[in-house]
């Protein structure tokens, strides 16, 4: 920051300032926790000398609050990878099963949007393909906030739902699948080379809401990166130019994530975990019938309140994945 040219690059300076603030907040919180613990210890000694039960109960309550604060700082220490502090994209795709899986995909999208709202993060719908009768076939959302990718990076995989189908007149139990893919939003300082000859760009008519202009022109854009077969698409902007710009940003993010995965694979054996991100190898099961349970198959963490989980209260699952998934 002391460099004379630091403020010339606005994008890089904003990134550095954001990182600096995150580290400063973490250090300050750690120092505050240490001081609070010392103060509580001294107060506890006085309460013991005076045999004051009321003060001891108050100290116990403050210790519980302090433990929660320390736990939050501990989690932030797990979010130390290069991309963890970045914003993220979430792609949601319905599995085989038609309306059932498409409705499940929409339920998952709502879960992540509710989680984002609970965290006071900013979310934006990038693209969406609605189901034939209900739900969505696919959707891409962008979430912006502190450590968003770090929080959600382990959500990539297959999510399984078991319930009595609201679309089955016979009220039979159905199993549905949807896939989640989370990848970071990269900034312009990360050099990702994209050659024009490697791209296939298609335009099509937007199928979502957005006004007469969006629905009557080929404003939606789909870009295929031929070497890697990565496909990105956007339809939320009113102009084809802006949709293409968003697609290119998403493609850069996908390619960055692709390269990160390649490096990780070189450093450790990821073949077993890779095989789990496939149909029939769900990372988490959400059972609404015949019993009520959400279970993460990687950490074995469980919740007996699926309603809270589907309403965006997934922090416990995210924390467990940070602690246990390497």
| Res 211: pLDDT | 42
Element (DSSP H or E) covering residue 205: none
Sheet order of strands, 199-204 included: 199-204, 220-225, 230-234
pLDDT given for residue 30 in this prediction:
84
Within 10 angstroms of residue 32's Cβ, the number of other Cβ atoms is 13
CA angle 146/4/15 to nearest 5° reads: 10
Q: What average pLDDT does range 180-193 have in this prediction?
A: 78
Q: Calculate the CA dihedral of residues 307, 310, 316, 317 and round it to 10 degrees.
A: 130
Give the three-class secondary structure for 225.
strand
Residue 139 has pLDDT above 90, yes or no: yes
**CA–CA separation, 182 and 311 (whole Å):** 19
Closest CA to 301 of 288, 287, 318, 280: 318
| pLDDT (mean) for 139-147 | 93
Residue 199 clears pLDDT 80, i.e. is over it: yes
Whole-number pLDDT of residue 238: 78
- Closest-CA residue to 159 (of 113, 88, 95, 89): 95
Mean pLDDT of the chain: 84
pLDDT of residue 315 exceeding 70, the answer is: yes
Residue 186 confidence (pLDDT) above 90: no
Cβ neighbour number for residue 263 with a 10 Å cutoff: 10
- The per-residue pLDDT for range 85-136, each reduced to its tens digit, is 889 999 999 988 789 999 999 999 999 999 999 999 999 999 899 988 889 9
Tell me the two tokens of residue 283.
């990372």
Q: Token pair 């309403």 is at which residue?
A: 311
Rounded alpha-carbon distances, angstroms, from residue 210 to 74, 128, 146: 43, 12, 29
Interval 51-94: pLDDT, tens: 888 888 888 888 888 888 888 788 877 887 878 888 999 999 99
Place of tokens 């433990």: 67
pLDDT, one tens digit per residue, over 259-283 is: 777 766 655 543 444 443 345 578 9
Q: What is the DSSP string of 87-130?
A: -EEEEEEE-SSTHHHHHHHHHHHHHHHHHHHHTT-EEEEEEEEE
């Amino acid at each position: 920051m002391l460099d004379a040219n630091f403020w010339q690059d606005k994008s890089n300076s904003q990134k550095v300032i954001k990182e600096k603030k995150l580290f400063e907040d973490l250090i300050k919180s750690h120092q505050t926790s240490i001081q609070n613990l010392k103060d509580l210890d001294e107060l506890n000694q006085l309460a013991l000398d005076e045999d004051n039960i009321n003060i001891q109960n108050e100290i116990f309550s403050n210790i519980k609050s302090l433990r929660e604060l320390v736990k939050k700082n501990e989690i932030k220490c797990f979010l130390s990878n290069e991309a963890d502090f970045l914003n993220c994209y979430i792609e949601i795709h319905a599995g085989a099963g038609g309306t059932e899986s498409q409705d499940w995909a929409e339920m998952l999208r709502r879960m992540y949007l509710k989680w984002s709202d609970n965290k006071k993060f900013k979310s934006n719908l990038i693209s969406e393909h609605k189901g034939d009768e209900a739900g969505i076939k696919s959707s891409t959302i962008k979430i912006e906030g502190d450590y968003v990718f770090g929080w959600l990076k382990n959500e990539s995989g297959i999510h399984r739902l078991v319930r009595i189908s609201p679309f089955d007149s016979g009220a039979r139990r159905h199993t549905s699948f949807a896939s989640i893919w989370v990848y970071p939003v990269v900034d312009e300082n990360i050099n990702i080379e994209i050659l024009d000859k490697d791209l296939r760009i298609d335009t099509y008519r937007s199928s979502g809401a957005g006004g007469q202009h969006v629905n009557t022109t080929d404003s939606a854009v789909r870009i295929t990166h031929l070497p890697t077969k990565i496909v990105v698409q956007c339809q939320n902007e009113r102009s084809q130019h802006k949709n293409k710009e968003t697609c290119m940003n998403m493609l850069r993010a996908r390619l960055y994530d692709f390269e990160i995965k390649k490096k990780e694979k070189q450093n450790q054996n990821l073949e077993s975990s890779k095989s789990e991100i496939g149909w029939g190898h769900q990372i988490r099961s959400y059972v609404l019938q015949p019993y009520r349970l959400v279970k993460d198959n990687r950490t074995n963490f469980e919740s007996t309140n699926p309603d809270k989980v589907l309403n965006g209260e997934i922090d416990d699952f995210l924390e467990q994945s940070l602690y246990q998934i390497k």
